[in-house]
Structures are given as C-alpha cells and as structure tokens.
Amino acid sequence: MAKEIKNVLVRSSDTIVADALGMAALIVMLFAALSLPNIF
C-alpha cells in the first residue's frame, strides 16, 4: 500500500501544489462567507 501511495504522489507531483492552493482558497472563501453575517 505504501508503494502505491508513493507511485500516486510521484505521478501527480505536478498538480499537488495547485490542488493544495485550490483547497486553501476554498477554505478561505468558506470562512469568509460564514463570517459575513457577523459583519452586518
């Protein structure tokens, strides 16, 4: 199983950074949307 995970990481190493940035952006937008009612 560890070998399979390593193979997946090696094959998709190009997109891991972009996926991580996209996930971080989604989390930031979620927290911003949830805090909007507190502002008004």
In this predicted structure, what is the pLDDT of residue 38? 80
Q: What is the pTM of this model?
A: 0.62
pLDDT digits (tens, 9 = 90+) for 1-40: 899 988 988 888 778 889 999 999 999 999 999 998 887 7
Dist. CA 20–CA 2, nearest whole Å = 21
Dist. CA 33–CA 24, nearest whole Å = 14
In this predicted structure, what is the pLDDT of residue 27? 98
The count of domains in the chain is 1
Which are the contacts of 19, defined by CB distance < 8 A and separation ≥ 6?
none
Q: At what angle do helices 2-11 and 13-39 cross, to 10 degrees?
A: 80
In this predicted structure, what is the pLDDT of residue 3? 92
Rounded (5°) CA angle 32-36-39: 125
In this predicted structure, what is the pLDDT of residue 29? 97
User: What range does the domain containing 23 cover?
Assistant: 2-39
